[in-house]
Structure 1
Amino acid sequence: MGEFELIRTYFAAAPCAQGGEGIALGIGDDCALLAVPPGEQLAISTDTLVAGVHFADPCDPFLLGQRSLAVAVSDLAAMGANPLAFTLALTTPTVSADWLQRYAQGLNAMAQRCGVGLVGGDTTRGPLSLTVTVFGRVPAGQALTRSGAQPGDLLCVGGDLGNAAGALPLVLGQRSADAVIAQPLLAHYWSPQPQLALGLALRGKATSALDISDGLLADCGHIAKASAARLVIEWQRLPLSVALLAFLGDDGAHAAALSGGDDYVLAFTLPPGELEPLLADGWPVHVVGRVEAGSGVALLDAAGQDITPAVGGYQHFRQAP
């Protein structure tokens, strides 16, 4: 099967590639054409997943299809953007009809769940890797960024932390667990749910935001640096699932929540007066700390003692000690 037949068979024919609102021209030409309404800005983000680095190889291609798109769309949620379209650059060592069909099915399932259309991409031969670029739209001046946190703001997250990191030993076959524990952790790892609706609800309320991909400590460091502020995280306020606590215990669950990564839950700063209306509307907002004058990120125990670890989260090119 040649490159263009592969694209036609498994991707161009998928329901998510049939156009939609904001897509003037999709797959088939040298470029896609996107229509952004007047007064709105285009939000763009790219994520690459590499076999053996970001996911185990082999793995279920349907689950990989879901995951590869979800982690990219999560960046749109972090900016408060409405999803519009995405492209896929697929590098694969071989052409397996079964693998491609299953991967495309998972990709399409997540695309339809997120309301985003496939508009193009590329296919090449080589070590397995997946690069997804997502496009969204947001009213001019309303995008959530990392640079607006102010002293006195609350530091919040949009849901339980650490579940994906807790799932990693299960994904790698290093541990096993009863289904009641394993299933919710694995679901969070393989099918993260971009918090698009929460991102929209935070427009005009949150002073800064991002999605947690490298661990709460590391990613809060990005907000702290961009905002020239100090973010304080309180150990006892971290939201942890029953499954994670049962699987890793209290200390292990906290470590996963702080430094494990792959949560794809929103972290954001919020003026105190904005909290109650969000809670009243049913949004899953958990206060985990606060913003102060200063710099960096601090982790405090229940007694208020600084217990900040030296390494906050995953970095691809950090040198081993």
Structure 2
Amino acid sequence: MGWSPGGLAIVETLDRALGELGEEWVLREILASLSDVSALRLGVGDDAVELRGAEEIVVAGDMLVESTDVPLGMTHRQIGMKAVTAVVSDFAAKGAEPQYFFVELGLPASMKGREFRDLWGGILSASKMYGGVVVGGDTNEAKEIVVGVVAIGRAINPIPRKGARPGDILAVTGLFGKTYAGLHAAFSGNRDPKWRPLLDAVYEPRARLREGIELARAGLATSSIDSSDGLEACLRELSEMSGVGFIVERLPLDPLAEEYVCVHGLDLYEAVLRGGEEYELVLTVPSSRLEEAARLLEGLGCSLIPVGKAVEDRIVMIKSGNSEMELRGRGWRHFKGRPR
């Protein structure tokens, strides 16, 4: 089989750095991949985009920075998918459906065309997976990869952070600790197949979008937040916004993560409370509707795991047998790093 001149030219182009290819090449790559959207009067390639027909508009944004958000071993495609997943997780917590994505790219001049195509392919793939389309954005040169994503969509009955009431059941949509253990494995170069699910949780996270949307439609959650900053930070935030406290009676620690943490002498509380980037939902449900909510999520292939309850006193407390521990930290915070 011979090489076609056109195919050879494409390979050579993709091996060149963006500093050589120029912004025009990047823009052509992006514009060629975007779909025309009939709901837009000012379409793809215009200076701005007008949205029509949306009665209740929901907007959220998130930013991924290579040096702080990209672990060792993550591919460019996975970087693109994670950038979209992060903002979609915020939509999931509100029970909102993303429709349009705006993507702001900061790209180093040394980046290869092939690497850019993989990054952009991940962004497009994740956008489609979550039911939206990329309709605009901007590009600029940067010292490292920076991906900012703004999502616009709709919500019929959005779930606030401030709706929890004393007596509500505190619940989560999955187990925690996988990303904490997975990050340790990634940075220590541990590629034992046994720990692969932990690495997958880091490299290929998924937002609980369908679960959040269905909970909102059914009016089953009184408050909700996504766990990207860690479980402890979520509990503090829900407590402050709702004016309630929480008693945590069960720590939702993943068994494989627990095994990894114990084998490597790590801190179990750090793993379950402060790992971050699990992209699970942390929510409150009226006790009278807990079974209904559990059945709804079970139908979506997801477990609703009760872990505690909301109380009047504005404290966040872990109770285990006769021991108690008040949580005062705030989980992950940019510019401050991990809590101490």
C-alpha distance 264-133 of structure 1, shift in aligned 2 (>3 A): same
Aligned to 1:269: 284
Give a deviation string over 1:66-97, Cα, whole Å, max 9, x none: 11110111111111101111111111121420
* Greater alpha carbon shift after TM alignment, 61-70 vs 160-169: 160-169
Write the distance in 1 (CA, Å) between the matches of 2:197 and 2:39. 35
C-alpha distance 246-119 of structure 1, shift in aligned 2 (>3 A): same
1:71-110 → structure 2 map (5 Å cutoff): 71-94=86-109, 95-110=111-126
* AA partner of residue 112 (structure 1): K
Write the distance in 2 (CA, Å) between the matches of 1:80 and 1:109. 21
Secondary structure of 2:77's counterpart equals helix
Give yes or no for the alignment of 1:256 onto 2:271. Answer: yes
Match for residue 311 of structure 2 among 270, 284, 292: 292
Give a deviation string over 1:223-256, Cα, whole Å, max 9, x none: 111111112222xx23333321221129734421
C-alpha distance 306-66 of structure 1, shift in aligned 2 (>3 A): same
1:112-123 → structure 2 map (5 Å cutoff): 112-123=128-139
Where do 4+ consecutive residues of structure 1 move more than 3 Å? 19-26, 56-59, 250-254, 317-321
Aligned to 2:150: 133
C-alpha distance 93-177 of structure 1, shift in aligned 2 (>3 A): closer
Secondary structure of 2:67's counterpart equals coil
Q: Which runs of 5+ in 2 are unaligned?
A: 1-20
C-alpha distance 309-150 of structure 1, shift in aligned 2 (>3 A): closer
Aligned to 2:207: 194
Secondary structure of 2:252's counterpart equals coil
Secondary structure of 1:34's counterpart equals coil
Write the distance in 2 (CA, Å) between the matches of 1:47 and 1:115. 18
- After TM superposition, give the deviation of residue 275 of structure 1 in Å: 1.2
* AA partner of residue 163 (structure 1): K
Give a deviation string over 1:248-269, Cα, whole Å, max 9, x none: 1297344212111111100000
Give yes or no for the alignment of 1:13 onto 2:32. Answer: yes
Aligned to 1:34: 51
Aligned residues: 309
C-alpha distance 253-177 of structure 1, shift in aligned 2 (>3 A): farther
- After TM superposition, give the deviation of residue 21 of structure 1 in Å: 7.3
Q: Which runs of 5+ in 1 are unaligned?
A: none
C-alpha distance 186-89 of structure 1, shift in aligned 2 (>3 A): same
* AA partner of residue 2 (structure 1): G
- After TM superposition, give the deviation of residue 22 of structure 1 in Å: 5.0
Over aligned residue pairs, what C-alpha RMSD do you find? Answer: 2.2
Write the distance in 2 (CA, Å) between the matches of 1:58 and 1:231. 37
Aligned to 2:254: 241
- After TM superposition, give the deviation of residue 211 of structure 1 in Å: 0.3
Aligned to 2:18: none
Aligned to 1:180: 194
- The answer (yes or no) to whether the contact 1:18–1:26 under 8 Å persists in 2 is no
Give a deviation string over 1:191-217, Cα, whole Å, max 9, x none: 211111111122111110010011111
Secondary structure of 1:167's counterpart equals helix
Secondary structure of 2:148's counterpart equals strand
Secondary structure of 2:267's counterpart equals helix
- After TM superposition, give the deviation of residue 310 of structure 1 in Å: 4.3
C-alpha distance 292-177 of structure 1, shift in aligned 2 (>3 A): same
Identical counterparts, % of pairs: 28
- The answer (yes or no) to whether the contact 1:48–1:131 under 8 Å persists in 2 is yes
- After TM superposition, give the deviation of residue 110 of structure 1 in Å: 1.2
C-alpha distance 246-25 of structure 1, shift in aligned 2 (>3 A): farther
Match for residue 311 of structure 1 among 329, 332, 335: 329
